[in-house]
A and B are shown apart, each in its own frame.
Chain A
Amino acid sequence: MAVDISTLNYDEAGHVKFHSSCSVDLEQPVFDAEWQRRAFGLAVALSEFGHYAWEDFQRELISAIGSWQSAPDDEKGRWEYYQHWVTALDTVVRRHGLLEEGYVNPEDRD
């Protein structure tokens, strides 16, 4: 379904809604589900410990979001930010060979 970006509504609590699933409300939890939280933590942790540069993850995230945005409306499906996050995470892990035989952690390298 195409997202109508021309109108703006308010929900019962008076928060601005950009569309049916998005209202400007800081009280809303940052993560809707535990898997999103873990995906976030995993991506940050791997970068923190030197397995890839954050920019490498970011590039994949931009690419995953870009694919969603340029897909035809009837194929897009619901917007789910962390779905793209997971796609990016999976790609960056594989591109850097983290799961390949013989991969050596940065702290164990000479």
Chain B
Amino acid sequence: MSELFAYPDDREEASAAQVKALEALLIEKGVITGSTVDKVLGYFESEMTPLNGKKIVARAWVDPEFARLLATDTPKAIAQLDLPEGMAGAEGEHIAAVVNEPGVHNLVICSLCSCFPWPVLGLPPYWYKDPVFRARAAREPRVVLAELGVELDDDTEVRVWDSSGHSRWFVVPARPSGTEGWSEEQLAELVTTESMIGVALAGPAA
């Protein structure tokens, strides 16, 4: 093990070769076909994107009934929206929303393995998987948030949600002020991936 660790560039090459060999062997064995991986990747890259999360949050901002359901039964709420097939499927069944409200700010991390609510947020940004981000966000979330530009009142409680295979959290950020009467499409534009992880706020209203 230590020998492998001593040659980082070789390790990168070794990993690349290992993936290639694994896929080739699995194709040869008939476990998958030559197009299986491309199909799955294509689906992820075209359908499972933060656009879904933006639509969900915008609906929650304009529809209190939907917002309530989203907080209590997230998959059921998401199923009501016209989102891509499979939203409630693989890994989607464990998606759970946490809602920012006055006095409460939510932050999502995954301290073990970087679980992420793929169907609503797409694939995680690089830093989400970083050991330093994970460790610091768990240990001193308020400091990390301040460094990222999220200034919270002292009496605002920070809740850190550690994702796992059973719960893949995403944050419903607070609706920015000055957006009364905006359409869902306009509101969705204010929702960023960062705000749905909890490392930023939504908005501001233009």
Contact = CB atoms under 8 A, between A and B. Distances in A.
Interface residues of B, number: 53
Contacts of B8: 77-78, 80
Given A8-B147, A78-B8, A80-B12, A44 B20 contact: no
Given A77-B11, A78-B8, A105-B30, A37 B41 contact: yes
B112 A40 contact: no
Interface string B31-63: 110001111110010000000000000000000
Given A18-B136, A28-B126, A35-B16, A80 B22 contact: no
Given A26-B193, A75-B2, A99-B29, A38 B12 contact: no
A35 B90 contact: no
B192 interface: yes
Interface in A13-57: 16, 18-19, 22-26, 28, 30, 33, 35, 37-42, 44-49, 51, 54-55
A92 B193 CA distance: 31
Nearest to B135: A5
A103 B113 CA distance: 29
B15 A35 contact: yes
Contacts of A26: 125, 192-194
A58 B90 CA distance: 14
Interface in B188-206: 192-194, 199
Contacts, number: 145
Interface string B124-142: 1111011111011000000
B162 interface: no
Contacts of A28: 125-126
A18 B113 contact: no
Contact of A83 (B12, B36, B199): B12
Contacts of B44: 41, 44
Contact of A30 (B91, B123, B135): B123
B194 to A, nearest CB: 7
Contacts of A23: 127
A81 B126 CA distance: 9
A61 B124 CA distance: 16
Contacts of B41: 37-38, 40-41
B15 A62 contact: no
B22 A93 contact: yes
Contact of A24 (B25, B36, B148): B148
B26 interface: yes
B37 to A, nearest CB: 4
16 contacts: A8-B147, A19-B132, A24-B199, A30-B124, A30-B125, A38-B23, A38-B37, A44-B40, A44-B90, A46-B32, A58-B113, A58-B165, A62-B112, A62-B113, A81-B114, A105-B31
